[in-house]
């Protein structure tokens, strides 16, 4: 069996935003050297795992470097990717190679070198494009850095995505989501990932998080605006211009095998059954075997969130009659054997899926 996708989690950030619960550490001058050593140390265990499971790495089709703030890793990405390809004796030819970048954390020259090397997609953490809303996000960069980054990627004429957040703490000012998205779209991103803020108990503004009803309204507002701007929703939280859906995302949702490296990163190897593995800070990993039934259930969850929908031929009569009632209530529709949820269904998807399970 071959695995053809790789996710790398770069854990360092200039500043630890108070709402973020991803695995991250503060960046210092030793960070990149230590990260390189960490990755190198994990290659042997990865190699052993692949051998044990009779998998080999095919030429990588998609690579995604997320974080943390991978733009702080900068050109050292190239050093590691070369090492990785030599180690596994692979040809370097990814069709999609994405790297996350934060405004204010990259040099224009390093982005150009990365493009020359083969990075062909960037994901920019915009979150909000309203100067008055922005401070609640506790970001390390100044608001103007967002505009500068958007301008930079727009001029480069490269495929890039933006991250946008809703469900932010309510402040005195009402948020104009439509206007924010329209302003962002002027800079020509081809893709947008939408996040609903989720926070822990220690979050300083937790009492100001809006009610579910407000968040649903914001979600539908995003949907209408993105549609008007020529984007298609291809998953609950992802919008793309025609031809710019993320192939790497699809690999996750369709349950293709993918490798992972970096603390907290999770990989998956799928044959008949599956194996999920997750990297620990000491360069070892934990693993969990997944039965075919578990894999099917997980795929039902991920595919129900997508434009391709779920295969209804696998359902019982009762579940099918639930799907018919969803169609009557305008939560989705049948398309041959498929049932595809729409934006109204996406808003309450967890409840709907529970009903058919
Ligand atoms: C792991 S972050 C990495 C990107 C980058 N460091 C940044 O902050 O822009 C990926 C995305 O997750 C989203 N995110 C971070 N914390 C979140 C939270 N508590 N709830 C929902 N989304 C969150 C943000 O939209 C962010 O761009
Ligand atoms: S920069 Fe991104 S990954 Fe880092 S703490 Fe902030 S939200 Fe989290």
What is the per-residue pLDDT across 217-270, written as a single tens digit (0 to 9) for each? 999 999 999 999 999 999 999 999 999 999 999 999 999 999 999 999 999 999
Ligand 1: distance of its center to the CA of 21 in Å?
Answer: 8
Most ligand 1 atoms within 8 A of CB, residue of 165, 192, 193, 246 to mutate: 165
What CATH code is assigned to 2-251?
3.20.20.70
> 255 — alpha (psi -120 to 50), left (phi > 0) or beta?
left
pLDDT of residue 21: 87
| Cα Rg of the chain (Å, integer) | 21
Report whether pLDDT(172) > 80: no
- pLDDT tens per residue across span 45-98: 999 999 999 999 999 999 999 999 999 999 999 999 999 999 999 999 999 999
Q: Give the residue carrying structure tokens 């020359």.
A: 116
- The alpha carbon torsion through 49, 298, 233, 314 (nearest 10 deg) reads 130
Q: Is residue 75 within 6 Å of ligand 1 at its C-beta?
A: no
Packed helices 317-328 and 349-356: angle between N→C axes, nearest 10 degrees: 150
Report residue 282 as tokens: 């000491």
Q: What are the tokens at 122?
A: 């960037």
Give 196 Cα–ligand 1 centroid separation in angstroms.
10
Atom of ligand 1 nearest to the CA of 125: 9
For residues 275-285, one letter each, b for 16 or more C-beta atoms within 10 angstroms of the residue's C-beta and e for the rest, the string is bbbebeeebeb
Q: Which of 195, 219, 266 to probe ligand 1 with, by most ligand atoms within 8 A of CB?
A: 195
Distance from the alpha carbon of residue 294 to the mean position of ligand 1, in angstroms:
28
Strand, helix or coil for residue 30: coil
Q: Collapse the DSSP code of 123 into the 3-class scheme (helix H, G, I; strand E, B; otherwise coil) and give the result.
A: strand
Instruction: Inform me whether the pLDDT recorded for 357 exceeds 90.
Output: no
Ligand nearest to the CA of 70: 1
Q: What is the mean pLDDT of residues 262-281?
A: 96
Tokens of 66: 């997320």
Q: What does the pLDDT read at residue 84? A: 98
Q: Whose CA is nearest to atom 6 of ligand 2?
A: 17
Whether ligand 2 lies within 6 angstroms of the CB of 332 is answered as: no
Element (H, E) at 352: helix 349-356
pLDDT of residue 313: 86
pLDDT digits (tens, 9 = 90+) for 335-356: 999 999 999 999 999 999 999 8
Query: Which of 73-82, 101-110, 137-146, 309-318 bottoms out in mean pLDDT, i.e. has the lowest?
Result: 309-318
CA of 64 to the centre of ligand 2 (A): 17
Ligand 1 contact, 127 CB (< 6 A): yes
**Ligand 2 atom showing the smallest separation from residue 67 Cα:** 3
Q: Is the CB of 20 under 6 A from ligand 2?
A: yes
List alpha helices for 157-193, DSSP H.
177-185
In the prediction, which pLDDT does 10 show?
Answer: 98
Name the average pLDDT for the chain.
96
Distances 50 to 65, 83, 273, 280, 305 between C-alpha atoms, Å: 21, 18, 15, 18, 30
Domain ranges (residues) in the chain? 2-251, 309-357
Rounded to the nearest angstrom, the distance between the alpha carbon of 123 and the centre of ligand 2 is 13
- Give distance in angstroms: CA of 126 to centre of ligand 2: 12
* Helices and strands, counts by H and E, the chain: 11, 17
In this prediction, residue 338 carries a pLDDT of: 95
Angle formed at CA 271 by CA 269 and CA 276, multiple of 5 degrees? 30
As given in the structure block, the two tokens for residue 150 are 């958007």
Read off the pTM. 0.96
CB atoms within 10 A of CB 2: 10
> By three-state DSSP, how is residue 42 classified?
helix
Query: For tokens 């265990």, what's the residue?
Result: 45
Do residues 293 and 314 make contact, with C-beta atoms less than 8 angstroms apart?
no
CB of 50 sitting under 6 A from ligand 1: no
Position 184 pLDDT exceeds 90: yes
> What is the rounded CA–CA span in Å between residue 127 and residue 4?
30
pLDDT at 171: 81
Ligand 1 pocket member 199 (CB < 6 A): yes
What residue ranges in the chain does DSSP mark as E strands?
A: 2-10, 12-13, 25-26, 56-67, 96-101, 121-127, 160-166, 191-196, 232-235, 238-240, 259-261, 266-270, 274-279, 285-290, 310-311, 332-335, 338-341
Report yes or no: 145 and 104 within 8 Å, Cβ to Cβ. yes
């Amino acid at each position: 069996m071959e695995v053809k996708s790789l996710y790398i989690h770069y854990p360092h950030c200039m500043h630890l935003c108070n709402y973020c619960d991803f695995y991250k550490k503060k960046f210092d001058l030793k960070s990149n050297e230590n990260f390189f050593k960490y990755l190198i140390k994990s290659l042997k265990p990865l190699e052993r795992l692949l051998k044990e499971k009779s998998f080999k790495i095919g030429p990588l089709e998609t690579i995604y470097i997320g974080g943390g703030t991978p733009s702080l890793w900068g050109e050292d990405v190239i050093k590691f990717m070369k090492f990785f390809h030599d180690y596994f004796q692979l040809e370097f030819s990814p069709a999609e190679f994405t790297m996350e970048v934060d405004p204010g954390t990259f040099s224009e020259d390093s982005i150009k070198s990365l493009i020359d090397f083969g990075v062909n997609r960037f994901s920019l953490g915009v979150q909000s494009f309203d100067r008055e809303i922005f401070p609640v996000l506790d970001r390390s960069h100044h608001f103007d850095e967002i505009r500068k980054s958007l301008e930079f990627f727009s001029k480069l004429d490269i495929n890039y995505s933006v991250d946008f957040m809703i469900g932010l703490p309510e402040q005195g000012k009402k948020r104009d989501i439509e206007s924010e998205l329209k302003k962002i779209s002027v800079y020509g991103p081809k893709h947008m990932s939408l996040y609903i803020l989720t926070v822990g108990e220690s979050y300083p503004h937790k009492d100001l998080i809006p009610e579910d009803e407000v968040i649903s309204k914001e979600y539908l507002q995003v949907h209408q605006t993105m549609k008007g701007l020529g984007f298609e929703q291809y998953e609950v939280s992802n919008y793309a211009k025609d031809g710019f859906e993320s192939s790497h995302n699809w690999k996750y949702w369709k349950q293709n095998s993918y490798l992972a490296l970096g603390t907290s990163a999770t990989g998956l190897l799928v044959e008949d059954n599956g194996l999920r593995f997750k990297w620990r800070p000491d360069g070892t990993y934990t693993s969990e075997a997944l039965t075919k039934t578990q894999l099917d259930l997980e795929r039902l969850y991920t595919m129900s969130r997508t434009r391709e929908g779920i295969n209804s031929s696998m359902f019982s009569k009762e579940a099918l009659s639930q799907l018919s009632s969803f169609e009557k209530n305008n939560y989705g529709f049948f398309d041959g054997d498929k049932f595809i949820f729409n934006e109204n269904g996406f808003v309450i998807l967890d409840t709907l899926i529970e009903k058919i399970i």
